[in-house]
Amino acid sequence: MINTQSAVIAVPAAEATILEDRDSCTLQRTFVFRNLTASVLSLTIEYSDDGGTTWTEEVAAFNVVATAVVIQNVTRAYQLRVRGSGGGDDNDMHVSLIKVYDQDLAVAPVWIRPMI
């Protein structure tokens, strides 16, 4: 089964968590980031194997230049969060998360945006 979620979100000027995926999907997850601004947005993807107490870098910091699209694949089977900086508007970035499951979901996956 394939599950896709999408939203337009804010990216703060200073680095902060912009979204979390608390699902521990064991198969690949793909993030698609589209910069909707004229500035460069800086993002990092991290994972937590202890329920969100500590975070470890999964994808090193990368830039999404003005109007560009960047795709990042993650296969880590823990909850993930994306940290970002360089924005300052409510509509800085369009982000999509695509997840593949090997069976039907018992409950809907959880995706939160704590900074919005």
Pick 11 or 116 by higher pLDDT. 11
pLDDT at 114: 47
Number of domains in the chain: 1
Q: What is the 8-class DSSP label of residue 24? A: -
100 against 113, higher pLDDT: 100
The CATH number assigned to the domain holding 52 equals 2.60.120
Residue 56: its pLDDT value, please? 96
Report the sign of the C-alpha dihedral through residues 7, 46, 73, 33, in that order.
positive
Domain with 21 in it: 2-112
Q: Give the whole-angstrom CA distance, residue 89 versus residue 9.
A: 9
pLDDT in tens, 57-94: 999 999 999 999 999 999 888 999 999 999 988 889 99
- 24-48 confidence digits (pLDDT tens): 777 788 999 999 999 999 999 999 9
Beta bridge partners of 21: 80, 111
